[in-house]
């Protein structure tokens, strides 16, 4: 089994899921530039991104400020992906 290919597929599926949840719950089109901006905010602990808790060695919960309101997102540090946007 080619694990690299499988890993890329999981990353792609995570992004697809996150995009769907952002559209559904916030009404935002999570295009590549915006996705990258949110990931960068998390990685660099920038203003607008607030660490909430660690769920595992790979996954953590963050608060992201969007339109003056904070939303909780699940972040995968291995794949450098936002996995989903949680309902408030």
Q: Is the pLDDT of residue 1 over 60?
A: no
The whole-number pLDDT of residue 88 equals: 79
End-to-end CA distance of the chain: 39
CB 45 within 8 A of CB 33: no
pLDDT of residue 67: 84
Q: At residue 3, does pLDDT exceed 90?
A: no
Mean pLDDT within 44-48: 94
Answer positive or negative: Cα dihedral of 52, 57, 58, 59: negative
Residue 58: pLDDT band with limits 50, 70, 90:
very high
Show the domain range for 79. 3-85
Q: What does DSSP assign to residue 27?
A: -
* Total count of domains within the chain: 1
- State the average pLDDT over residues 25-29: 93
**Does residue 53 register a pLDDT over 70?**
yes
Question: Scanning the structure block, which residue is given the tokens 């919960």?
Answer: 61
């Amino acid at each position: 089994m080619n694990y690299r290919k499988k890993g890329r597929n999981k990353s792609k599926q995570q992004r697809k899921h996150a995009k769907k949840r952002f559209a559904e719950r916030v009404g935002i089109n999570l295009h590549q530039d915006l996705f990258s901006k949110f990931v960068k905010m998390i990685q660099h602990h920038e203003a607008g991104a607030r660490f909430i808790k660690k769920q595992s060695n790979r996954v953590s919960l963050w608060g992201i400020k969007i339109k003056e309101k904070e939303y909780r997102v699940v972040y995968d540090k291995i794949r450098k992906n936002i996995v989903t946007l949680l309902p408030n």
